[in-house]
Amino acid sequence: MDRHWHDLHRTQGLSGLYLKAARKRSITGDSLPASGLHCAIGVNPQRLQAYRKLCHFGDDSHLPPTFPHVMAFALQLQLLTADDFPFPLLGLVHLNNRIRVVRPLGGIGTLRFSVFVDNLQPHAKGATFDLMTEAEDSLGLLWHERSRMLCRGVKLEGEPPAVDTPEPLPLGELTRWYADSDIGRRYAKVCGDYNPIHLSALSARLFGFPQAIAHGMWSKAMALAALRGHLPLSGYEVDVAFHKPVRLPSEVVLEGSAVAPDGQFRLVGHGDLVHMTGSWHTLHESSRPA
């Protein structure tokens, strides 16, 4: 696909983007736009420090592997609320998230981000697409993210693609934490993600949830902070699938396999309810994005 890029000097304000998202409630098409956004975004030291504390990352010279997602969040929203994007932002479901750390995330002041959508596929409940985010420094690609999103109600021809299930590895408890009732509001304050399903029981009920639920990317960040002894400094990817949401408040347990170049983990709650499954893999040169 020949992609048309829009170069931005800055991202739009979140309040305006949320107002735009609230106005769009219907599906307006069944194909993705062939456009993307470029923007240079600087690291905010105060936000970074608050994020480290919120997600239990250590205070070192490298960005947490999930922090570029936070940096690019407004740019992603700007793409998903653009007039040529066919699906309403409210109601999209985050099914899967894969992050690749291509080179060490150290000594960073500003990154050049690229965001676009790709890979529209039929799904049993509608259609999925991939929200792609890439971060570069002066030497080239540094970090890459694919967020697979579900839009219910989209009608596409064809069958959903088959999903490969890896052979499970033995898992043991690594840590556990308590997701308190206000973690959604605290995450939103730091990261800007004010989806109503995360903020309170009252706002979550408007979207069919009996309680507020934790942000999936907070759960992933907490898991990666706990797995830092399992992961190299760079040259790896972490892929997670989000299953049952973490209702607030609740306690969750992180289970993981042994330290190795490749491994698996999962986040479980009361009654062995599975909230998230994931894996990490060492990147070989042939598997790194060009």
Alpha-carbon gap, residue 261 to 154, rounded angstroms:
39
pTM of the model as a whole: 0.95
Exposed e or buried b for every residue in 136-174, given b needs 16+ CB within 10 A? Answer: bbeeebbbbbbbbbbbeebeeeeeeeeeeeeeeeebeeb
Q: What is the pLDDT of residue 161?
A: 87
Q: Are 138 and 233 within 8 A, CB to CB?
A: no
Q: What is the pLDDT of residue 290?
A: 44
Domain ranges of the chain: 4-287
Q: What is the pLDDT of residue 173?
A: 97
Q: Per-residue confidence of the chain (290 residues) as pLDDT tens digits?
A: 689 999 999 999 999 999 999 999 899 999 999 999 999 999 999 999 999 999 999 888 999 999 999 999 999 999 999 999 999 998 899 999 999 999 999 999 999 999 999 999 999 999 999 999 999 999 999 999 999 999 999 999 888 888 888 899 999 999 999 999 999 999 999 999 999 999 999 999 988 889 999 999 999 999 999 999 999 999 999 999 999 999 999 999 999 999 999 999 999 999 999 999 999 999 986 444 54
Report the CATH number of the 4-287 domain: 3.10.129.10
Q: What is the pLDDT of residue 265?
A: 98
Q: What is the pLDDT of residue 1?
A: 63
Q: What is the pLDDT of residue 165?
A: 83
Q: What is the pLDDT of residue 252?
A: 98
Strand segments, DSSP code E, in 26-125 are 35-42, 93-101, 110-123
Alpha-carbon gap, residue 218 to 205, rounded angstroms:
21
Give me 254's structure tokens.
């992180």
Give me 87's structure tokens.
């699906």
Q: Is the torsion defined by CA of 69, 73, 75, 76 positive or negative?
A: positive
